[in-house]
Structures are given as C-alpha cells and as structure tokens.
Amino acid sequence: MAWGQGPPDAIARILARAEAAAERGQDRRAWTLFNVARRRAEADDPRPAIAEAEALPEEAAEPTDAWRSRAAEARDAHDELAAEAPEHPQAARAARLRAWAAALAGEHAEAIERASAAAGLQDRESAALLRRLATLAVLRQDLPSARRALIGAHRAMPQESATLSDLGAVELALGRPGAAVERFARVLGRRPDDLLARRDLAGAMVAAGRAEAAVEILTQAAAAHPGDIDLRLELAHAALEAGDHAMAERAARAAIERSANDDGRGHTVLGAALTAQGRREDARAAFEEALRRDPGDVRARQGLESASGEPPGRSGRGASVARGLAAP
C-alpha cells in the first residue's frame, strides 16, 4: 500500500501524535515520538525521516543547541533512507529536507553544494531552499557560501529578480562592486519603475568608482520622487563622491526642507559639501545644527572638529570629513 492511501497504520498514528505535540510546543515529546516512529518503521519507509525534517525550524536563524542536535538526527535519518531507498517517490523532496537539516546542524556549505548540484531549471522548490540557505550563510558570516547559494537559486529560477537583488547585495559586501552593478542593472532592466532597484544600482556604482553615473541615476529618481528625503541624501552623498560639491549642496538643502526637526542628516551632508567648497564658517554652522537636532551624530561631530580646525584626537579617530561622510 502506497504512503498516503488507505487507512492510517501504526506509523502514521505515531507521527500524527508527534506533529500534534510539535504544534502545541511540546518539542521534546514530539521528538521522542519521531524517534519511536523511525525505529518501528521499515527501513525504506520515508515518512519518519520526512516528518522529522519538516518539524525543524523553517526560519533562517541560528538554531539552539537542542535544535542543532535534532537537525543532525534528521540529517542522519535521511542518509539512512537514501541508502535503503534511493529512488523512493519522495526522494527529491527528502533531499531538499536533508539539505536544510544538514545546514541547521552546522553543515551549510556542504548543503549548498548539494542543493545547487541537484537543482533543475524552473525548480521553484530548490530555488526557495537555496535562498534560505543563503540567508543562513549570511547570518553565519559566510558570504562566499551565500553567494554560491544565490547563484544556484538564480540558475534554478532565472526570472526571479529578488534573487538577483540579493546576489547584488552579497557581491557588494564581498567587495565586488562591479559584479554588484551588473546584477542590479539587470534587475532595473526588468523593472525600470522599481525605485529600490534604481537606488541599489546607484549605490553599487558609487562603490565601483562610477559616482558620476550614480548622480545621473539619482537625479532622475529625485525628480520623480520629490518628497523622498532619503533619496535626496543619497544624491548628495553620490555628488560628493563625484566631486560635484554644488550639486551635493543643492540636494542636501532639498532634503533639509523636508526633514523633521530631529533629523540632522541633511545638515551633516550639507556641512561636508560646504567644507569641500572651502566655506568653513558655513560648514561649521551646518554641523552645529546637525548636532543640535541629533547630538549623537558622530559624522557631524567629526565634521565640526575639522571645520573648526580642532584636532580630531578627542574623538579617538583621525578621519577626515570626506572619509567620515563617504556613505549615507
């Protein structure tokens, strides 16, 4: 009798009790019942291994020691199942569950390699798994593995722009701004009205040393979204990087016009633009206003020290205004 057909058997009843216990938050009892089901089932019965793996946390977060141990048990159960019944009807699903269990148990890099190799074209389930594995890798500060997972997810579902966006962010974090520009440009080509994609591309261009192109992109975006303060600030920072200090001043003042009374970011970048123009007194006034609005603004404090000609040693850092304000 095939699984899922006919009256429930003893294994099905045990698993139902285990799943009910898990839904009530009785994790220890649930896992005891999963183990009972696995011991009593035939070696080629996929149900206990699949049920165990499905009970693992689905969120890409670092598991507790207890869940890490349970994930290792689920991984081992799937390895035993694969040895006994490598071609059972649930094999593909079991392989994906095994990969997630292994990742939670601490083996995310190997899981990514396996899942990437097994993923097919237009394989939505594998793509979703690889994205979860990428998130887990990022949480574990393993960006190269996250990149491999996202490349695998993109190959499985090449039309998914969200995967390309995530891949661009990882490329940027890995110090590969040129690759990030390529990823974000493809997203924007698919979704030309997507403001977030436009901003992502501009930020990557600044990091890649193409600030003038970023200014052009952000200028167009700011014209289309005049009330977006953050967009004006990003334009101001990009203009600073491009050496267009007058444009940076204009963008900063436009942001200030729309800012709340406790938002000093516009005055901070305005101070940087005025400092770059040699207008130290005006710059000092801008930094002072930024600190009045937000006393904790470190960049404004550093800028004020520079504009006032005071030694920066009191802050414990010798950063110049330009370096301290390189990014929003």
Spans of all domains in the chain: 1-106, 223-328
Q: What is the pTM of this model?
A: 0.82
Please report which helix (H) or strand (E) contains residue 293, including its range: helix 280-293
pLDDT at residue number 3: 44
State how far the Cα of 218 lies from the Cα of 32, in Å rounded to an integer. 57
pLDDT at residue number 310: 53
CB 19 within 8 A of CB 38: no
Q: Which two tokens stand for residue 257?
A: 């016009």
The DSSP annotation for 206-232 comes to HHTT-HHHHHHHHHHHHHH-TT-HHHH
pLDDT band at 8 (very low <50, low <70, confident <90, very high): low
CB 237 within 8 A of CB 328: yes
pLDDT tens column, 21-59: 999 999 999 999 999 999 999 989 999 999 999 999 988
The percentage of the chain sitting over the pLDDT mark of 90, rounded to a whole number, equals 84
What CATH code would you report for 223-328? 1.25.40.10
The pLDDT of 97-122, averaged and rounded, is 96
pLDDT at residue number 143: 97
Average pLDDT, the chain: 90
CB 101 within 8 A of CB 134: no
Q: 322 pLDDT exceeds 90?
A: no
The pLDDT of 79-103, averaged and rounded, is 92
Indicate the DSSP class of residue 88: -
Higher pLDDT, 311 or 175: 175
Q: 93 pLDDT exceeds 60?
A: yes
Counting Cα atoms < 13 Å in the Cβ hemisphere of 100 gives 27
Q: Which two tokens stand for residue 193?
A: 């009205």
- Number of helical (H) and strand (E) elements in the chain, helices listed first: 18, 0
